[in-house]
Structure 1
Amino acid sequence: MKNPVHTISELLTESFEIIDLSHTLVENIPAWPTHSRFGHTLYESYESGDIASHYQLVMSEHTGTHMDAPLHFIREGKAHYGVDKVNLQQVFGKAVVIDATDVPPNGTLSYQKINEWEEKNGTLLGGEIVLIRYGWDKRWDIRPRGNEFLKDWPGLGKDAAEYLVSKEVKAVGCDTLAIDSYVASDNPAHYELLGNEVLIIENLNNLQKLPKYSLFFAFPLKIGSGSGSPVRAVAFVPRIEV
């Protein structure tokens, strides 16, 4: 009898392509203005006579492709918990990609737009991870070229966030700096999603490489009482569309 773990491994390797949805962490990548910037400092090196090489990392919990934990915006109550308490089932599972590349800078993705997507592609069933593709990742770059990524991005409208909560999705991801638009000073999507324990994944990359449906993973670091964590987001895409 075949080892079931071996069988699963063969199935994943032969039947699926892995798509990397994460940005590479290097110095001078885009960062929220009030957050610490990513630093990568050499501490030991072969050239200095050390037997090994290693670097010190300095970064915010919200560096690069990352997850927001509920306590990032929720001050108290049932949803006030950190990334170390996140149920990992919420960031693993069936993902759907909603194309929102027609949403203009500073605009919002509305409930109506999501409803139109459902009419064409099928109703959200609950338990999905919704990935919103604005195409904003093409602006990602190191400073100063990456400064265009840091302004005027579109976001998720309040009515759309409320609808996704009602559909019981597990998480919502985007390829912008934040789930709310650049001009949304009251952060309605953050409060609506995190307040209802729907996780947020920001700064995704390569969503244009995904079909409408895929198998998605984005596991966080287990940071005690962390408000968020960098993630390595990946999707498994069938090699033959069914």
Structure 2
Amino acid sequence: MSEWIDITQPLYTGMPSWPGDTPFEFGLSAAKAENGVVNIGKFTTTTHIGTHVDAPFHFDDEGKRIADLDIHLYIGRTMLLDVTGNSSVGRTELEQHELKGAERILLKMTGEGSPDKFPEIIPYLRPDIGPFLKEKGVKLIGIDVPSVDPLDSKTLDAHHSLHRNGVMILENIVLQDVEVGEYELVALPLRIVGADGSPVRAVIRKIGG
């Protein structure tokens, strides 16, 4: 059986975060060296740090919160596709790939690993991708960049298009050394009541490998 591949960005103090967001910081609130019993860690962060999923409430006041989402969306068969070399990706680019009926797809858009600084520009998804994915029965899309929309977007057209078409969003996965093909995905969000998103530990395992 194939090994699980970790496609999660590591969380560490000083890691890149959205400009203006709460940066990730980890430290000890209690140390065994001082209390003689245990170390106890604490961290502060944003719900959209590193590898994470968006709940519809992130961009829609009437949208579902993270704890209300169906966990089955984040577990199961997925297709990993290479769409690097495109400044944006939509119906035209995906029509060139065989989705094989997968309900989840992961897009290698940059092929880069965990960045040491927040990018200034990223490849993004065009709004026509939502209807296309609905036609194909896709319920989740994962990307290796911080957002499905341009970083300076105020309208979040791709977010809304995916939401209207029943497609959940997984962002900031790491696909640098992963080959295209069919995989099993596990990327469960934390059950944070009322939250607009959640960091995840995303892993994949090759099917048939």
**Aligned residue number for residue 132 of structure 1:** 107
Which consecutive residues of structure 2, in runs of 5 or more, have no partner in the other structure? none
What letter corresponds to residue 156 of structure 1 in structure 2? Answer: L
Contact kept in structure 1, 2:79 and 2:99, CA below 8 Å: no
What letter corresponds to residue 213 of structure 1 in structure 2? Answer: E
1:177 equivalenced with 2:177 (yes/no): no
Counterparts in 2 of 1:203 and 1:35: CA distance versus 1, 3 Å: same
Offset at residue 136 of structure 1 (A)? 5.3
Structure 1 length as normaliser, TM-score? 0.80
Of the three residues 149, 155, 162, the one matched with 2:124 is 155
Counterparts in 2 of 1:220 and 1:139: CA distance versus 1, 3 Å: closer
Offset at residue 98 of structure 1 (A)? 1.7
Contact kept in structure 2, 1:137 and 1:203, CA below 8 Å: no
Which consecutive residues of structure 1, in runs of 5 or more, have no partner in the other structure? 1-14
Q: Give matches, 1:1-242, under 5 Å.
A: 15-76=1-62, 80-103=63-86, 107-117=87-97, 122-125=98-101, 128-135=103-110, 137-138=112-113, 140-141=115-116, 146=117, 149-206=118-175, 208-238=177-207, 241=209
Q: Which has the higher helix share?
A: 1
Can you list the C-alpha shifts for 1:100-130, whole angstroms capped at 9, x where unaligned? 1111xxx21121110012xxxx3452x5111
Following the alignment from structure 1 to structure 2, what is the Cα–Cα distance between the partners of residues 31 and 68?
A: 15
Contact kept in structure 2, 1:69 and 1:83, CA below 8 Å: yes
**Aligned residue number for residue 8 of structure 1:** none
Counterparts in 2 of 1:165 and 1:211: CA distance versus 1, 3 Å: same
Contact kept in structure 2, 1:84 and 1:225, CA below 8 Å: yes
Structure 2 length as normaliser, TM-score? 0.92
**Percent identity of the aligned residues?**
26
Offset at residue 185 of structure 1 (A)? 3.7
Following the alignment from structure 1 to structure 2, what is the Cα–Cα distance between the partners of residues 50 and 136?
A: 46
RMSD across aligned positions (CA):
1.8
Aligned length: 209
Secondary structure (helix, strand or coil) at the match of 1:48 reads helix
Runs of 4+ with deviation above 6 angstroms? none
Offset at residue 207 of structure 1 (A)? 5.2
Of structures 1 and 2, the larger Rg is shown by 1
Contact kept in structure 1, 2:114 and 2:174, CA below 8 Å: no
Offset at residue 174 of structure 1 (A)? 0.5
Contact kept in structure 2, 1:46 and 1:52, CA below 8 Å: yes
